[in-house]
Structure 1
């Protein structure tokens, strides 16, 4: 650690979704952030995706608000087109030298108009579209790019001077040279992402030789509205629609020959997603997915997989394709493979290779410059109990740079890295930041409504179904509409600037955006009009994506008419919008952490390190949770019990953590910044945030003779016996998916396969002559966990796969356990008499969730786990502000994942705890004191306990409803219940709602 006070800034290397999340969390917690990316714009791989699984959200739709938030954040400095050259110093004070390549365009002058690119005569392969289309020598990465600044490709530029002559802003500067940028940072986060595997290294699949063999990322661009075929699936060779498409899994993953033994974790799921979206975008497409093990291990992934097999009719063929050849006349592809020991040949019109992850090309150089270690596969080296720490103090890592992972885990980990980076420099919080300043708010009280309508194409998400130009023209005819236009992506940074300009130019005093959902985008647009001088509540949104183009995907005329109806209704409401005020509420800088397992203790300790008071509540008599039952870890030399003892000791010794053991939460009242909790022990305390880390439990089976024979035990029970040396016998059978992936519990429990490998390896190490059999459906040892699957096999563990719906049969015969299982590939039935039958029992939710969830007004999944706000981009947030989620309370996961998520919850919590005051929501219920008679009907109706009945302000002898604006969520339930009409809802007044109804009926009357 550097001497003296640390520097209050952080450098984040890599501007993908991971780097963006880290930057936003840190900037919102009081730190200056330098976000460095080697590309001209931020966004990373997620910006190239069409949709995301398992929700099928438009990737750009959900990413764009974060791009814009990052680009406009006053405490985030974007340094693009730059790479780290030198790093000196230590944690707390790193001195960093960056080399910034010349754009040949002045970013302060460039307006992003695109005239230069239109006139440029040079065309080259477009990297953003994976060379499936062309771009100009002067270009911007993509339409929604942040920063939206054009740059010149110096290798492609012919120096003709046309762009300079065409640029009215005078931004072209041919004499620009590479510059050196020097910054000081207290800590560093590495999030450079990954590179896709080069499929030419697998010549048997024909990539690079056969035009109709494409990589998965190329196919992703084909599916995108901004891709080469505008979202339609076409064959590259002839532009025809392919009827049969084969998806080949594990290209560059799980492959000893090429040296990539690890699993890339996401390929199975993104292939399912691409197959589903291909069918949606192009009628008649018949996808088939060739796979070894279907690794749908994430939250609700198995349900997505089952839907693909069932409703979507996608074929799944368990086979590793041997070769792909081409019919020279038709350009069709012939696949050779073996299914159930039978050689087969099948013709497809197109082949998509599911390419795996590999470390970025810059990985080795980056590790040398920053002096941290890489693992044997070239990824950043981390440990199970410190998953976001590199081997160098003060330098942290997040995302796919430490291991292949999906977006939710990447985002949670990014927040976790932000927490660790902030911990090093917490004493300097707030020393390098400046407050956001807005222009004075315009007084519109004397003005007639002047509404601007912005209709979004959203690529083909909306524009592929709804006739957007026709809807825009219709909007121009509506009362009080003074301006209407349509945009390809209304959420892009350049459109935000245009909205501000148009508000000023046309003197608009209300803005309506017709696009996707206000759940993700309303804050973005409200912030934009506030920057234009309007009150943020003079904004209205019509959801013509979810309610029109998605629900009426195959009915374009109905979707278009419905979009007109929704816009007409929204315009009617917008005309009556009034400015609302946000009141400030103080923040109590302390936290309640529910659950004393690995996630809860990690969260508590990290908060305490950053000088926040923590109340840690554990219902058991001792801390530790499920970790108390774990004795073996795949990572060699890691003793979970030793690590647990160390962690418990640190938590119990920390003066900022007050621990309550053997008690439960009885009641939680209050709101963000000001909660009040009462425990079963009688203790009460106040706090500003809540982190729910209440864990999960092992499923206790009701099958396979469990509970009827001592030789039958769950995986955790067996691990206890194995650790104590109490295991007898030489014959072991493990049965996977017990209580998971079933009708009763459709999802995967994620950890069971790897836990089986760990225990099987331990058996073989203790007794090399043991007979160990694993009966399974799919082995889901994703990421680097694949190596333990291989190690188990190398040590002699045998694997027998049974079919879905044909699980093993377990009986008693002559005092012995008998296991019958039919191997699916060969239809051979095996018979075992194990000395130990181990059931890989699934993970179940904590039953306390049914009690805690309603207290906090947070939802549960149908499996009983907590449901986060957004599966991809808000994986540790709840819709209830100030309440966060971590660990197995969210769903099954490994120790390192629980730790990452706990740290992520801490970072999100600190964005609140680091502030003295918060702004309360302006849309709340209000009481007309002249009408209210204090009947009290509204009080029990309010789920948020925001209403109290007290003395009337004008007559103390009368009763009166008083609303706590901090607690009020603006749901409107009380307004509808009031028999006297004394309650009204700001932002949703009776007049506004009636105006919408009248507008809806207006067209019906005609």
Structure 2
């Protein structure tokens, strides 16, 4: 019998690989993360902001990078690549080589202050997409993980000046490559993506016209951490461009690369919104705002003045002042025009990396026709043709960050399922760190670290002056400046300083605690300092970002913020989290494809699952569909999947049931279910997979009045019945992308194209017209669009200002914006692509599971980018159509991903609650009960006429403490004394005030 190895190899350290590694490691498996470059982070680490939230990209990725870098179950192997593989699923032997490039990573601390200045070689920086410079010895970027210097061996002249300058002896020109063997049970490939090089398109002048650059280069221009510190400058003369134009679909949606790159429309919109004090133009073919919150983001851009021009420019010329001149045909007006701008940004497509070919050859996995790694099938989007090898993220094609994160999480589930019997056997033994004893009676020793955040903070605030000010505050024994406080080297510096300076409080003045507080708390914990003795002062969002035009007042406000944080910190006390047992059962609500997949993947880990479905049969919206988008008949896979669910020993399928009440908390929920037999269940986690439904478009285009006007799902039934037509007209965006439903339903265009192809395949003589605003065949589904056109499907674009009309004779009138003429089509079948809307009862589910609802009507996740599967309430997860409309492979992926998130809780015997909760002083409480009615989490009850707060249920919102008239309730770490100290400026509280220390 072959031994099953409880370790997983992850190839690629972009956001998808990072997420996959963390999920595997958190479920007690060993992880090797192999990254061919010097640092993890991938393309996301080089972005400025992310859409549609406008979060700082590296600010939300860096904490995950640091978390991964110090995870005890993960070993990062930079500068590595695979040489060979042998064995089979469950027991692979992988030979790798690690290029040392003359730097000993165990000795190098990435300081770069000594070696880089003496290096005589100046080079364009690949990490800055060739718009910034660097030396032959360099660190990829300040937040790199691991933070180790690299030597560019292609350009190093071997002078060894850096070797002489390095005081740690980390540079050795006699070091060679290191080969080693890894024993792993599964492999996850997250090889990422590369921007297209537009040098091969002479019509756009890239490389010839100075003021034509690519979107990745523009990202580095607008980034505060980029080579120009966020100042947008023309390459030719360094001045700020007053007119900037973006050109879409450069290197994609063409004969050479017949695929959409999925994210270009939105990243151009994001870049345009970040470009202040300039006139902004975006040239596009179809505006693809198909993702969650994308359409709202696009509308916001239009509202603030970004001008969208529907055209694919033919050529870019240059005038005598080096201004690019864009020659284009405006397809809205039919006129050929010239537009002179100061800067052109080419929205380049995303291509598979060259490493895919090598991985394919070594591992035996197949590539698709574009060079991406090919999934096994549409129904197995994470599997390859080789058992035990899985794929995720942009390795399979261009996709947005949350889709990459979801695939990383899901790939973790697929990779560990065959290894369950070896869980925990390969992980290193953890050393328990003893908590430092903190003297709570004396004067605290506070350390203050003030972050530059590149120029996000430092360009507005005088950080050295803030450091000197912090040193004057009572209790502060150490203060220092940090370029990036979230980087791994600063984390190490903080830990060293806590020990050397014997600090018992730490204050970091930087950015938002929402993303960074757990990072710094963990840093304190690693040297034994209680995490609740850490305080984060937000001088970025609350100061430098909002007071950029008055630096003097901003500086004074920053001093106030730091002083308040120090005041609060001085009164902080150690808080310890409560450990609670985990009920090792899961509730999955909704038995559509996503819910069934989640239930199976949880149950296959030996965990009991209750799968609750309000309909009498499982299957969800798939029961209304005959064929998938790749032609797969639903009847081929849905019945076997349902049978697998019904026969699984650990799945209890409960159809015809609804949820009446939910109480409790992560680890121990109580759920009341009504149906044929009323039941109350105790479960550890809840998965909401309630799906979506097609809008019944009454009031649109005679739907409900004429039987020949149907929806796309109703059309599927007619196609299955063998109906034939002479002329079919499909109308897109019915009830969506309007004021009532300001979102794109994501799947409608692909469904319409699929059904149009089905009609033409059965009867090529049938005329099929698709009336559209923008065709949303994103990513690889662009090929479906091309196939439909090749088969003779006619696409007619209409404007939302002049929508089509249908009269009682089924005569369709539409104003064709391309032909600049009204067309009349005598149809015998009209098909409406209605909006996809949340399933019935979504509002009740939101209330029961404490799920916020986004303005599109769908449940809002914890974070649009990095936590797309987590609900706002701990232990509650989202997947499938409940999260947002999606195609079947996306729904399956989310179901599998949710299984990983659920099992990250369910595999443990106990979990820790949050430490910041409210508590009651029973000596003061009069038992009035006011607080009971206010608590949204049900944490309060009366016991012996006194308020009692369940420390497990309490979320520390503080509402009860604020409402208590007599002050009997206080919130830990936000006590009245701390708040008073912050407001009034007291540094030590009442005791020191009496000594005259204010």
Q: TM-score range with shorter-chain normalisation?
A: over 0.9
Q: CA deviation at 1:83?
A: 0.6
Task: Give the corresponding residue for 1:290.
Answer: 283
Q: CA deviation at 1:435?
A: 5.0
What is the aligned-residue RMSD (CA, Å)?
A: 1.6
Aligned partners of 1:7 and 1:473: how far apart in 2? 54
Aligned partners of 1:547 and 1:970: how far apart in 2? 22
Distance change in 2, residues 1:664/1:551 (3 Å): farther
Task: Give the corresponding residue for 2:789.
Answer: 793
Note the 1:154-553 alignment, pairs <5 A: 154-256=153-255, 259-279=256-276, 283=277, 285-311=278-304, 313-327=305-319, 329-339=320-330, 340-382=333-375, 383-434=377-428, 436-445=430-439, 446-553=441-548
Aligned partners of 1:143 and 1:345: how far apart in 2? 42
Q: For the Cα contact (< 8 Å) 1:298–1:750, is it kept in 2?
A: yes
Task: Give the corresponding residue for 2:824.
Answer: 831
3-state SS in 1 of match to 2:769: strand
Q: For the Cα contact (< 8 Å) 1:595–1:692, is it kept in 2?
A: yes
Q: Deviations over 1:120-165 (max 9, x none)?
A: 2222221100111221111111101000111222222222222122
Say if 2:767 is the partner of 1:771. Answer: yes
3-state SS in 2 of match to 1:303: helix
Aligned partners of 2:961 and 2:137: how far apart in 1? 57
Q: For the Cα contact (< 8 Å) 2:25–2:74, is it kept in 1?
A: yes
Task: Give the corresponding residue for 2:10.
Answer: 12
Q: For the Cα contact (< 8 Å) 2:567–2:986, is it kept in 1?
A: no
Q: CA deviation at 1:469?
A: 3.2
Q: For the Cα contact (< 8 Å) 2:584–2:608, is it kept in 1?
A: yes
Task: Give the corresponding residue for 2:994.
Answer: none
Q: CA deviation at 1:555?
A: 4.1
Q: For the Cα contact (< 8 Å) 2:724–2:763, is it kept in 1?
A: no
Q: Deviations over 1:927-956 (max 9, x none)?
A: 2232234333322222111122223xxxxx
Aligned partners of 2:846 and 2:3: how far apart in 1? 42
Distance change in 2, residues 1:498/1:998 (3 Å): same
3-state SS in 1 of match to 2:412: helix
3-state SS in 1 of match to 2:532: coil
3-state SS in 1 of match to 2:100: coil
Which one of 924, 937, 946 corresponds to residue 944 of structure 1? 937
Task: Give the corresponding residue for 2:89.
Answer: 91
Distance change in 2, residues 1:936/1:709 (3 Å): same
Q: For the Cα contact (< 8 Å) 2:869–2:877, is it kept in 1?
A: yes
3-state SS in 2 of match to 1:650: helix
Say if 2:955 is the partner of 1:969. Answer: yes
Say if 2:711 is the partner of 1:718. Answer: no
Note the 1:42-81 alignment, pairs <5 A: 42-81=40-79
3-state SS in 2 of match to 1:537: helix
Q: CA deviation at 1:617?
A: 0.5
Q: CA deviation at 1:457?
A: 2.0
Q: For the Cα contact (< 8 Å) 2:586–2:685, is it kept in 1?
A: yes
Q: CA deviation at 1:63?
A: 0.6
Which one of 546, 568, 572 corresponds to residue 567 of structure 2? 572
Aligned partners of 1:675 and 1:690: how far apart in 2? 8
Higher deviation after alignment, 10-19 or 335-344: 335-344
Aligned partners of 1:903 and 1:533: how far apart in 2? 37
3-state SS in 2 of match to 1:902: helix
Q: Deviations over 1:183-221 (max 9, x none)?
A: 011100000101211211211111111221111111111
Say if 2:727 is the partner of 1:739. Answer: no
Task: Give the corresponding residue for 1:956.
Answer: none
Aligned partners of 2:761 and 2:103: how far apart in 1? 63
Aligned partners of 2:825 and 2:144: how far apart in 1? 60
Q: Deviations over 1:605-656 (max 9, x none)?
A: 11111111111010000000011111122214x1123211121111111011
Q: CA deviation at 1:978?
A: 2.7
Q: For the Cα contact (< 8 Å) 2:34–2:78, is it kept in 1?
A: yes
Q: For the Cα contact (< 8 Å) 1:438–1:530, is it kept in 2?
A: no
Q: For the Cα contact (< 8 Å) 1:512–1:570, is it kept in 2?
A: yes
Higher deviation after alignment, 912-921 or 993-1002: 993-1002
Task: Give the corresponding residue for 1:584.
Answer: 579
Q: For the Cα contact (< 8 Å) 2:44–2:57, is it kept in 1?
A: yes
Q: For the Cα contact (< 8 Å) 1:438–1:531, is it kept in 2?
A: no
Aligned partners of 1:434 and 1:935: how far apart in 2? 52
Q: CA deviation at 1:601?
A: 0.3
Aligned partners of 2:825 and 2:424: how far apart in 1? 66
Aligned partners of 1:910 and 1:496: how far apart in 2? 30
User: What TM-score, normalized to structure 1?
Assistant: 0.96
Aligned partners of 1:710 and 1:141: how far apart in 2? 63
Task: Give the corresponding residue for 1:759.
Answer: 755
Task: Give the corresponding residue for 1:704.
Answer: 701
User: What TM-score, normalized to structure 2?
Assistant: 0.96
3-state SS in 1 of match to 2:353: coil
Aligned partners of 1:535 and 1:913: how far apart in 2? 26
3-state SS in 1 of match to 2:635: helix
Higher deviation after alignment, 357-366 or 593-602: 357-366
3-state SS in 1 of match to 2:810: strand
Aligned partners of 1:620 and 1:510: how far apart in 2? 56
Aligned partners of 1:451 and 1:505: how far apart in 2? 13
Task: Give the corresponding residue for 2:626.
Answer: 631
Task: Give the corresponding residue for 1:118.
Answer: 117
Say if 2:926 is the partner of 1:920. Answer: no
Task: Give the corresponding residue for 1:955.
Answer: none
Task: Give the corresponding residue for 1:954.
Answer: none
Say if 2:974 is the partner of 1:988. Answer: yes
3-state SS in 2 of match to 1:442: coil
Task: Give the corresponding residue for 2:995.
Answer: none
Structure 1 unaligned blocks of 5 or more: 952-958
Q: For the Cα contact (< 8 Å) 1:294–1:778, is it kept in 2?
A: yes
Note the 1:877-956 alignment, pairs <5 A: 877-951=870-944
Structure 2 unaligned blocks of 5 or more: 990-997
Q: For the Cα contact (< 8 Å) 1:620–1:661, is it kept in 2?
A: yes
Aligned partners of 1:472 and 1:857: how far apart in 2? 42
Q: CA deviation at 1:436?
A: 4.0
Q: For the Cα contact (< 8 Å) 2:804–2:812, is it kept in 1?
A: yes
Distance change in 2, residues 1:819/1:559 (3 Å): farther
Aligned partners of 1:310 and 1:560: how far apart in 2? 33
Aligned partners of 1:647 and 1:672: how far apart in 2? 29
Aligned partners of 1:374 and 1:1000: how far apart in 2? 65
Q: Deviations over 1:329-386 (max 9, x none)?
A: 3111111111132111121211111111111101111111111111111111112111
Q: For the Cα contact (< 8 Å) 1:262–1:784, is it kept in 2?
A: yes
Aligned length: 981
Distance change in 2, residues 1:834/1:698 (3 Å): same
Task: Give the corresponding residue for 2:992.
Answer: none
Q: Deviations over 1:789-844 (max 9, x none)?
A: 111111111111111321112222xxx11211111133200112211110000111
3-state SS in 2 of match to 1:34: strand
Higher deviation after alignment, 7-16 or 95-104: 95-104
Higher deviation after alignment, 288-297 or 483-492: 483-492
Q: For the Cα contact (< 8 Å) 1:52–1:58, is it kept in 2?
A: yes
Q: For the Cα contact (< 8 Å) 2:811–2:827, is it kept in 1?
A: yes
Task: Give the corresponding residue for 1:152.
Answer: 151
Q: Deviations over 1:520-565 (max 9, x none)?
A: 1111000111112211000111222222233334444443332222
Q: Deviations over 1:663-704 (max 9, x none)?
A: 111111111111111101311111111111111111121211
Aligned partners of 1:460 and 1:385: how far apart in 2? 46
Distance change in 2, residues 1:30/1:662 (3 Å): same
Q: For the Cα contact (< 8 Å) 1:565–1:1000, is it kept in 2?
A: no
Aligned partners of 1:435 and 1:251: how far apart in 2? 51
Aligned partners of 2:72 and 2:117: how far apart in 1? 32
